[in-house]
Every structure is written in C-alpha cells, then in structure tokens.
Chains A and B, each alone.
Chain A
Amino acid sequence: MNETELIEAAKAGDRNALGRLIKQYEQTVYNFAFKICRDREKAENTMQETFLSMVKSLHQFDGNSKLSTWLYRIVSNHCLMQARYSNKYQFVDVETEDSLFDDRYLSDSSKIPWKEFENNELRAILDKAISKLAPDYRVVFLLRDVEQLSTEETAEATNLSVAAVKSRLHRARAFLRNELEKEMSK
C-alpha cells in the first residue's frame, strides 16, 4: 500500500494501516519536536500528543496538503502552546531589534571563526542560540530552513501569511548567525 492507500485504509478503521503510518512518521515528528523544545522528554511527550491528535482527527484530513505538513502543524501548535504557558523564559525580541542587520556584521574583521568544535560543544552552542529565539520564529526557521518545507507549506503549518513567514525567516537567520558569531568568537 502506498501512503494515500494507507491513509484511506486508516480512515476506514484499519488499525494496522494506522500503525504503519505512525511508524513511518514517528522519527520525523520526534526529531522536529526535539528541535523546537531542545529536550528529549518534552519531545517524546509532544510526539505522543501529536499522534493522539492524528488518531482522533485523521478523518478530517482531506489530502489537500501532505500528511507530513499536517503533522508539522500539529507539532508546531502543541509546542507553541506549551511555550506560551511556560512564559518564564525571556526570549530576545527580534521583531524590534534593528541591530540585527547592523553593518558591523559585514566588516572583514567580523568573520566567524569556524574552528573545529567538539560535537558536544557545537551542539551546546546551537542549542543555546536557538533557545533565545522566540518560539514562533524558531518554528518558522526550523520548518523552512531545516526541514526544508516550501514557504507556502511553512505558512500553512504555522497559520501565517507567506509574507510573515519570509520576514520571520530573515530575522531568525540573521539572529542565529549573529549568535553563533558571538559564541564562536569567545
């Protein structure tokens, strides 16, 4: 059975088909959830909630978008909601930060020292930088640049306009780039 057939079978109540769909997407969903929340326990919890939503509402899936985009949307919504509840974190407000595109990042002296980092060290730097980014910017960056969805699919998964996706993407990229420069220059 191909994916469309699996979805149709699962909608008609075939639990084995449903099981195979879940198996097919669990790693993708887990990975994406981890990238947003940077925490294994939260990622697993999000994955469980995501597939529970999928089981409950697969009958509403109309096939106009890809199943993966549909799942990304559920993960994004879940993570964003969680982030709003736990508002204890202070995120950098990249919306108002004009210095994001400051000329100083263009000077020759401002090259990132891309030295060889230990894997753990590099991961710590990447985790720290992305954690400072407000969750809704993080989600756009991850969907578009890391998972490589199209701008339209990203807009669909986040309920944002295409223009809003683009402007968030530019700011998120600039912010992360500048953070890596700061951290790697230390």
Chain B
Amino acid sequence: MDVTVTCKDVMSHICDSLGEELQSPKCIAIRSHMDSCDCCKNYFDSVEKTIGFYRDYKIVMPEEAHDRLMKYLDMCDCDPVGQE
C-alpha cells in the first residue's frame, strides 16, 4: 500500500510505540518516514520524553488523608489499616 507522509503528518499523528495500532498503513508509513528523517526522529523523542516526565511525576498521599477519608465516609469501624 502506497501512503505518502510528510513531516507534518508525523507530528500530528504520532503512533507506534506511543501505543496506537502498529499495523495501520498510516503508522507503517510514518515509521518508515521517521527512519530516514532526523527532524521527525528528534520530534518523536521529545514527545516521548515529555510523556516520561509526566509519568515520573508522582505524588504520595499523606497518611492523614486516609484517616480523613474513612471519617468522611463514616467507615472508621471497618478501616483495614491497623486491623492486621
């Protein structure tokens, strides 16, 4: 199947390892374009890196928030914490 893609197509339709169906003609064409286009490769890498930053950004819930939640739900009598 002959699908021509431009750099702009690659930008607006990033798929592949970012989770879209690998087999669609568009994705296959995008991959082969990227193999030979450094600009698109850079762009793709920067999108992946951007996503990686957001994935690594983790927040830990404070312990007291659990207690407040059980109180809010009126479930302190069946709180699994401290029952073990």
Check A31–B58 contact: CB distance below 8 A.
Answer: yes
Give, as a whole number of angstroms, the nearest-CB distance from A33 to chain B: 10
Question: Chain A 90-120, CB within 8 Å of chain B: the 1/0 string?
Answer: 0000000000110101111001101000000
Q: Is A173 an interface residue (CB 8 A)?
A: yes
Q: What count of chain B residues pass the 8 Å CB interface test?
A: 40
Q: In the complex, how many residue pairs between chain A and chain B have their CB atoms under 8 Å apart?
A: 120
Check A44–B68 contact: CB distance below 8 A.
Answer: yes
Tell me the complex Cα distance, A30–B68, Å. 13
Q: CB-nearest residue of chain B relative to A171?
A: B12
Tell me the complex Cα distance, A112–B78, Å. 51
Q: Other than the known A20-B80, A55-B73, A176-B54, what 7 A-B pairs have Cβ atoms closer than 8 Å?
A: A19-B78, A26-B61, A26-B66, A30-B61, A44-B68, A47-B65, A173-B51
Query: Which residues 26-75 of A sit at the B interface, judged by CB distance below 8 A?
Result: 26-27, 30-31, 34-35, 40, 43-44, 47-48, 51-52, 55
Q: CB-nearest residue of chain B relative to A24?
A: B80
Tell me the complex Cα distance, A181–B47, Å. 10
Contacts of A142 on B, CB cut-off 8 Å?
54
- 24 inter-chain pairs at a CB distance below 8 angstroms, sorted by A residue, are A16-B78, A19-B75, A22-B69, A22-B75, A26-B65, A26-B66, A30-B61, A35-B57, A44-B65, A44-B69, A47-B61, A47-B69, A101-B8, A103-B8, A105-B43, A126-B54, A144-B19, A145-B54, A146-B54, A150-B19, A176-B50, A177-B43, A177-B50, A180-B50
Question: Chain B 59-84, CB within 8 Å of chain A: the 1/0 string?
Answer: 11100011011101101011111000
* Given contacts A27-B61, A151-B19, A112 and B46 within 8 Å (CB-CB): yes
* Given contacts A101-B11, A106-B7, A146-B51, A151 and B69 within 8 Å (CB-CB): no
Check B77–A15 contact: CB distance below 8 A.
Answer: yes
Q: Is A123 an interface residue (CB 8 A)?
A: yes
Contacts of A48 on B, CB cut-off 8 Å?
68-69, 72-73
Give, as a whole number of angstroms, the nearest-CB distance from A78 to chain B: 14
* Given contacts A126-B57, A174-B47, A106 and B70 within 8 Å (CB-CB): no
Check B78–A114 contact: CB distance below 8 A.
Answer: no
Q: Is A122 an interface residue (CB 8 A)?
A: yes
Q: CB-nearest residue of chain B relative to A45?
A: B72
Contacts of B70 on A, CB cut-off 8 Å?
19, 22
Partner of B75, one of A15, A40, A166: A15
Tell me the complex Cα distance, A180–B57, Å. 15
* Given contacts A107-B39, A146-B54, A174 and B19 within 8 Å (CB-CB): no
